[in-house]
Chain A
Amino acid sequence: MIPRPFEYHAPTALPEVIALLGQYGDEAKLLAGGHSLLPMMKLRFAGPGHLIDLRKVAELKGIALVGGEIHIGAMTTENELIFSTLLAKHLPLLAEVARQIADPQVRYKGTLGGDISHGDPGNDHPAVMMAMDATFVLAGAHGERLVKASEFFHGLYDTALTPGEVMTQIRLPLPPAGTGSSYAKLKRKTGDYATAAAAAVVQVKNSVCVQARIALTNVGPTALLAGDAAASLVGKTIDEAAIGHAAALAMKICDPTPDLRGDEAYKTAMAGQMVERALRTAAARCAI
C-alpha cells in the first residue's frame, strides 16, 4: 500500500504555507499528523499532487492562556493535550477526550487541528469543540477569519475551510464556575472510531442547570449539536428524569450510517446512552 506520487513541501512559516496553497489550489493537501490522510492516500482514496507538511511551522504549536480563553495551536498533538498541566487545570475535558482517541502511537502524531479539519464525523474533537463553544482561526491570503465550531462542519469531509486556507488555532472560552463536562464514548476496541459518543458541558447554580451544551459523534454526516436536548435541561435539576428526557431528544436528531459497528437503531440507542452517561458525569463534576 503505497500512495500515488506527489510533490512534498515542508515550509517553515505560515506565509509560506499560504503561498503554497495559493499556488497549487485544490491539488494540494495539508499534512498534519498524517494518521487520517496517509491511510487514505495509501488506499488511493486521496491522491493529492502536492503535500504540504506543517510539522516545521512553529507558530502552529503551543497551548496558552490568553485573557479568558485557552488558545491551542492547530498542530498540537493529542499527547500534548493529555500531558498539558494548563489544560488539566482549566479544560480537563480535552485530555479526557484525547485519552479516548486512537492509541498511544497515533496520539504522538495526531493533532487537534487535523482531527477537526479532516471533517470526519467519526473523529472525536468536533463534537467536543461544539460542546465547548470553540472558535477556529482560519488563515488564508485574505488574512484571518474566525469561525464557530457550530458553523464549521458542513457535511462528510466538508468544512468551512476553503482550498486556500489553513486552520491555525483553536480558541476555547474558560468555563464559568459551576461547570462540569464529560465525554462518553462507546467503541469496540482501542483505536476504533466511536459506535456513538456524546460530549456534555453543563453549568449548575443552586442545584439548577443554567447552561447546557450537548454534541454527538459519529451519528450523522457531521458531529451534531443537540440543541433541543441541551435546552430541555435549562432551568431544571439534572436528575434521572431530566437526563432521560434530554437523551430522548438527542436521539431524535441522530441519522447514523449502518456499518459493522451497528445498524441505525442500535447506534441511535447507543447515542442516547452516551448522552445519559456524559450528563451524569458532567453533572457530578459541577460542584464548586
Chain B
Amino acid sequence: MSKKTIVNFKLNGASTDVMVEPRELLIHTLRDKLSITGPHIGCETSHCGACTVDIDGASVKSCTVLTVQCEGSELLTIEGFAKGGVLHPLQEGFTQEHGLQCGFCTPGMITRAYRLLQENPSPTEEDIRFWMAGNLCRCTGYQNIVKAIQYAAAKMRGETVTTSHPLMAELSA
C-alpha cells in the first residue's frame, strides 16, 4: 500500500487540506471527503462531463485526475458559484431558459460554461456547441442549454436579459 500524503489546494476560495492515497481520484475526494457533491459521477470514463470542475483556469473531468495532481491548485465547483444567496448568471440562465430537466448534468454544464465564457464572452451558437461538446445531457436535446449560456453571456456582458421561454415569461409577467 502506498503512503498517504497531505494535499493542499484552494477549494471555492478556501484553503483545504486532505489526506489521500496517491491513487485517489479527485471526484472521490470531493464527494466523499469534502462533501462537495455538486460534481457528479456519471460515466467514470471521461466521456460525460458530469464531474467537471475548474482547476487553475481549465475545465477538467475530475474522474480523470488524481487528487495529488491538484497540490497547490485553485479549484472551483458548482458550490462556489452563488454568492450571498444570489445565483450566478449561469445558474439564473439555466433556470430562466429551462436548461435542465433531471439536473444530473447541470453542475458540470455550468462549470464548463463558466470557463467558456471567461475565454470567450460573446460566443456564437456554433462556438457554444463546439466548446460544450465534452458535456452530455440525456434530457434536454441541448437547445435550452445553448439558450441558457447565451442568456448568461448577455447578462455577464451587462446587457438586459429576458427569458425566451414562454412559461417563464408568463411567470414573471
State which of B58, B130, B132 has its C-beta within 8 Å of the C-beta of A108: B58
Q: In the complex, A53 Cα to B131 Cα: how many Å?
A: 27
Q: Is B147 among interface residues, defined by CB-CB distance under 8 A?
A: no
Q: Tell me if B22 and A8 are in contact (CB < 8 A).
A: yes
CB of B15, distance to nearest CB on chain A (Å): 20
Q: Which of B61-100 contact A (CB under 8 A)?
A: 61, 64-66, 68-69, 71
Q: In the complex, A31 Cα to B23 Cα: how many Å?
A: 13
CB of B97, distance to nearest CB on chain A (Å): 21
Q: In the complex, A7 Cα to B66 Cα: how many Å?
A: 12
Q: Which of B37-53 contact A (CB under 8 A)?
A: 44-47, 49, 52
Q: In the complex, A108 Cα to B66 Cα: how many Å?
A: 15
CB of A76, distance to nearest CB on chain B (Å): 14
Q: In the complex, A106 Cα to B21 Cα: how many Å?
A: 24
Q: Tell me if B59 and A34 are in contact (CB < 8 A).
A: no
Could you list 17 A-B pairs, sorted by A, with CB under 8 Å?
A: A4-B23, A5-B21, A6-B22, A10-B68, A31-B69, A34-B66, A34-B69, A35-B46, A35-B64, A42-B44, A55-B69, A79-B58, A102-B134, A104-B59, A108-B59, A109-B58, A190-B134
Top 10 nearest A-B pairs by Cβ distance?
A: A103-B134, A8-B22, A108-B58, A190-B133, A105-B134, A5-B2, A3-B23, A104-B134, A105-B59, A8-B68
Known A-B contacts A35-B46, A103-B134, A191-B134; the reply to A5 vs B112 at CB < 8 A is no
Q: Is A235 among interface residues, defined by CB-CB distance under 8 A?
A: no
CB contacts (< 8 Å) of B116 on chain A: these are 104
Q: Is A39 among interface residues, defined by CB-CB distance under 8 A?
A: yes
Q: In the complex, A103 Cα to B61 Cα: how many Å?
A: 11
For B1-30 the 0/1 string (1 means CB < 8 A from A) is 111010000000000000001111100100
State which of B2, B3, B21, B47 has its C-beta within 8 Å of the C-beta of A191: B47
Q: Tell me if B71 and A109 are in contact (CB < 8 A).
A: no
Q: Is A160 among interface residues, defined by CB-CB distance under 8 A?
A: no
B contacts, CB < 8 Å to A: 1-3, 5, 21-25, 28, 44-47, 49, 52, 58-61, 64-66, 68-69, 71, 112, 116, 130-134
Q: Is A241 among interface residues, defined by CB-CB distance under 8 A?
A: no
A-B interface contact total, Cβ < 8 Å: 84
CB contacts (< 8 Å) of A34 on chain B: these are 64-66, 69
CB contacts (< 8 Å) of B44 on chain A: these are 1, 42
Q: Tell me if A7 and B2 are in contact (CB < 8 A).
A: yes
CB contacts (< 8 Å) of A99 on chain B: these are 130
Residue of A nearest to B21 (CB): A5
Q: Is A248 among interface residues, defined by CB-CB distance under 8 A?
A: no
Q: Is A38 among interface residues, defined by CB-CB distance under 8 A?
A: yes
Q: In the complex, A53 Cα to B72 Cα: how many Å?
A: 14
Q: Which of A1-25 contact B (CB under 8 A)?
A: 1-8, 10
Q: Is A51 among interface residues, defined by CB-CB distance under 8 A?
A: yes
CB contacts (< 8 Å) of B134 on chain A: these are 102-106, 190-191
Known A-B contacts A34-B64, A105-B60; the reply to A5 vs B22 at CB < 8 A is yes
Q: Tell me if B132 and A38 are in contact (CB < 8 A).
A: no
CB of B147, distance to nearest CB on chain A (Å): 19
CB contacts (< 8 Å) of B21 on chain A: these are 5
CB of B76, distance to nearest CB on chain A (Å): 14
Q: In the complex, A22 Cα to B9 Cα: how many Å?
A: 31
